[in-house]
Chain A
Amino acid sequence: MSIAKLARVTLSHLDWLESEAIHIMREVAGQCGNPVLLFSGGKDSICMLRVAEKAFRPGRFPFPLLHIDTGHNYREVTDFRDRRAAELGERLIVRSVEDSMARGTVVLKSADEPRNKHQSVTLLEAIEEFGFDACIGGARRDEEKARAKERIFSFRDEFGQWDPKNQRPELWDLYNARSFKGENIRVFPISNWTEIDVWQYIEREKLALPSIYFAHRRPIVRRGGGLLPVTEVTPARPGEAVETLQVRFRTVGDITCTAPVESDAEDVASIIAETAVTTITERGATRLDDQTSEASMEQRKKEGYF
């Protein structure tokens, strides 16, 4: 296995990941009749929009953007979402968990129950409303154990369910996006990216992000070993001391289940430096809804989650 003549250019790891993601998006465009790209304004979906530009410009995207809004998102993120879609000149569809609650299809156990898992219902309703046959999402295999075995083209039955034992074999770069009416394919172009790859890509491509990804001062309380932001929907409990700390968010989901970390990182390079030495996984640190049980992601995916 001596290093033979390396005459040819080898793609850097970021170029390779980007190229794979472009290829995947073009396969969706080539194989699916009515796809949609899920765009939340979060960093992973911001990378996906960049990939989509590289895949389809100077043409328009062959799909609209869709956000499932829990109604508990940070203003900075939803503003960014709207601005970015407008800059790109692409169509943005927003469907709200609160509308599903009004319809009675989402019923919360209590008023302060995190709404993240209920996005599944609203997503399935949007899929049905528009007849989408494929949803392009920003999930990564490094995020969580149940995702490590996820296909890039993941089949969901007519109830939106993921059956880990009934997934199509996926070989080479020959993807199978075929589905019957009512069924759906979830496509994950950045499956093979890790958190650090995402940050390196953001830095290389000079991608703009919502401001709350960077260090800012924010009132928080300490609860259950983590930091919780104090907001209108997540007030401090009686007896809890509210502190103002320098923090940033590693993920920006629903306010009620997305926690910040202490940080002085004011730019992407500083975040990369922090991420390289971090000792807690992205979801472990900041996704309060995943800690409930070891298998909680697998359970939610079976119910139609991204």
Chain B
Amino acid sequence: MSAIEKLPAEDIPDNGLLRFLTCGSVDDGKSTLIGRLLYDSKTILADTLHAIQRSSARRGLDIVDLSLLTDGLQAEREQGITIDVAYRYFTTGTRKYIIADAPGHEQYTRNMVTAASTADLAIILIDARKGVLTQTRRHSYVAHLLGIPHIVVAVNKMDLVDYAQETFDRIRSDYLAFANGLGIADVRFIPLSALHGDMIVERGERLPWYDGPTLFEMLEGAPAIHSEHDEKFRFPVQYVCRPQDSANPELHDYRGFMGRVESGEVHVGDRVTVLPSGLESRVRDIQVLGESLPRAVAEQSVSILLEDEIDISRGDMIVRSGELPQVGKNIDAMLCWLSESPLDPRRKYLLRHTTRDSKAMLAAIAFRVDINSMQQQPAERLLMNDIARVSFRLAQPIFADPYNESRGTGAFIIIDESTNNTVAAGMIL
């Protein structure tokens, strides 16, 4: 029996992978929503279901609590809250999904920032009985700050407001009033009941006045990342392959520049510039495991071979000539402080941007953002979960783009060399 006869996937279009973030607290039914997505997409297997049935019964619940599916760690189960980002997986046959499940409590802004950093879409949950809350604004602000291109506002628990359209419409206009102020462009609204499954995978019969897509349809139809705008080619070099000791003499002069395309695409023959040297060459070949490719696209890991012998090492960047990034030692950025130790303005930190590290010193804190009121406030130092506009002075230049143009070359982290901890996340302006 041949493999192809038995594999239906050959006929089904592969719509790639979508990473999305769910924000909300336990009270909004977030865990139930995720449980519902996994349950209705048939991702939950019998033994897992039996385990949560047992847990539900042990807690005296008479229905299966789908939220138990996402309560990961013993420590958290004891406290009954989710304290860290958890990742979940499901597939619809045409698309694979990675859910980043971020806790909603105020003290865990840093977890939401973490989860948002890799998300292409955010589902912001609102309890229909409570409407737009401070935490809704906070989640929306962070999702927008982290550059998530698509936001879905899910008005949940419609079953508890008699599936009333007026409630949904009021929440939508409340939300739009502040979202417009933040500059959020693509936002969609959907009424649903995660508990009963209305408008998740099935439409149900209790929301006849809503004629938009179900949540599943929104996820299936969301554009792939890197597909919506023209992008500049950016290739940070991770590793240089020079197999000189190989028995094969043909490899004696082999120099493969290994990395992942952060944005844009590159073709064999393209004229490229190498930073920081500024030297130019052409792409001679693009390879993966001995196979030559005509081009490489965003998010693809390849080896690039150039026509000219140029000295290139980890931390350098290959870009298309004529499309250079900003090269500089001074950066302005939005910064989220993630560490329990406050930012110390007198200390040197390590800034990691693409595959490049540089010593960095804080030059100024322009303002701190109160993420509940969105007000800008003066600040002398930054504490955990603070978000601020700052500037840094660097020892080495970096090759950067504004974060809102390119996440891959606009993002950086700050590392405290005394502990090796990652203490902050930054987005270049």
A26–B301 CB distance below 8 A = yes
Q: Does B177 contact A (CB under 8 A)?
A: no
Tell me, rounded to whole Å, the shortest Cβ–Cβ distance linking A14 to chain B. 8
Given A30-B314, A178-B415, A192-B89, does the pair A58, B251 have CB atoms closer than 8 Å? yes
Tell me, rounded to whole Å, the shortest Cβ–Cβ distance linking A245 to chain B. 21
Q: Does A59 contact B (CB under 8 A)?
A: yes
Residues 208 to 227 of chain A near chain B (Cβ within 8 Å): none
A280–B45 CB distance below 8 A = yes
Q: Does A16 contact B (CB under 8 A)?
A: yes
Tell me, rounded to whole Å, the shortest Cβ–Cβ distance linking A282 to chain B. 9
In the complex the two chains form, what is the Cα distance from A141 to B84 in whole Å? 14
Selecting from B127-135, B166-174, B218-226, B270-278, the interface stretch reads: B218-226
Q: Select which of A10, A15, A268, A294 is within 8 A of B51 by beta carbon.
A: A294
Which residue from chain A places its CB closest to the CB of B251 in the assembled complex?
Answer: A58
Q: Does B161 contact A (CB under 8 A)?
A: no
Contacts of B223 in A (CB 8 A): 1, 3-4, 6
Q: Select which of A14, A145, A270, A272 is within 8 A of B72 by beta carbon.
A: A145
The DSSP consensus for interface residues of chain A is loop
Counting contact residues on chain B (CB < 8 A from A), the size range is: 35 or more
Residue-wise interface mask of B (62-98) relative to A, using a CB-CB cutoff of 8 A (1 in contact, 0 not): 0000000011111100000001111111010001101
In the complex the two chains form, what is the Cα distance from A8 to B288 in whole Å? 20
Residue-wise interface mask of B (337-373) relative to A, using a CB-CB cutoff of 8 A (1 in contact, 0 not): 0100000000000001111000000000000000000
Residues 146 to 179 of chain A near chain B (Cβ within 8 Å): 146, 148-149, 164-165, 167-174, 176, 178-179
B73–A149 CB distance below 8 A = yes
Q: Select which of A9, A56, A149, A174 is within 8 A of B411 by beta carbon.
A: A174
A168–B422 CB distance below 8 A = yes
Given A13-B96, A29-B239, A58-B290, does the pair A298, B7 have CB atoms closer than 8 Å? no
Tell me, rounded to whole Å, the shortest Cβ–Cβ distance linking B400 to chain A. 13
B260–A173 CB distance below 8 A = yes
Q: Does B330 contact A (CB under 8 A)?
A: no
A1–B221 CB distance below 8 A = yes
Contacts of B87 in A (CB 8 A): 141, 148-149, 191-192
Q: Does B181 contact A (CB under 8 A)?
A: no
Q: Does A82 contact B (CB under 8 A)?
A: no
Residues 1 to 36 of chain B near chain A (Cβ within 8 Å): 1-7, 9, 14-17
Q: Does B326 contact A (CB under 8 A)?
A: no
Which residue from chain B places its CB closest to the CB of A17 in the assembled complex?
Answer: B17
B48–A55 CB distance below 8 A = no
Tell me, rounded to whole Å, the shortest Cβ–Cβ distance linking B26 to chain A. 16
Given A15-B300, A279-B46, does the pair A60, B17 have CB atoms closer than 8 Å? no
Q: Select which of A30, A178, A267 is within 8 A of B1 by beta carbon.
A: A267
Contacts of B15 in A (CB 8 A): 10
B86–A148 CB distance below 8 A = yes
In the complex the two chains form, what is the Cα distance from A57 to B415 in whole Å? 31
Q: Does A203 contact B (CB under 8 A)?
A: yes
Contacts of B354 in A (CB 8 A): 174
Q: Does B205 contact A (CB under 8 A)?
A: no
Q: Does A105 contact B (CB under 8 A)?
A: no
In the complex the two chains form, what is the Cα distance from A70 to B332 in whole Å? 54
| Selected A-B contacts with CB under 8 Å, 29 pairs | A1-B188, A1-B221, A3-B223, A4-B223, A4-B227, A5-B228, A6-B227, A11-B299, A12-B14, A15-B300, A19-B299, A20-B301, A56-B258, A148-B87, A149-B87, A169-B425, A172-B411, A174-B412, A176-B421, A179-B420, A191-B87, A196-B91, A203-B7, A269-B1, A272-B6, A284-B45, A294-B55, A295-B73, A299-B74
Given contacts A58-B246, A171-B118, 6 further A-B contacts (CB under 8 A): A10-B16, A168-B421, A168-B422, A169-B422, A174-B353, A267-B6
Q: Which residues of A contact B (CB under 8 A)?
A: 1, 3-20, 22-23, 26-27, 29-30, 53-60, 62, 141-142, 145-146, 148-149, 164-165, 167-174, 176, 178-180, 191-192, 194, 196-197, 200, 203, 267-270, 272-273, 278-281, 284-285, 294-295, 298-299
Lowest 4 CB-CB distances: which A-B pairs, in order? A284-B47, A22-B301, A269-B6, A13-B96
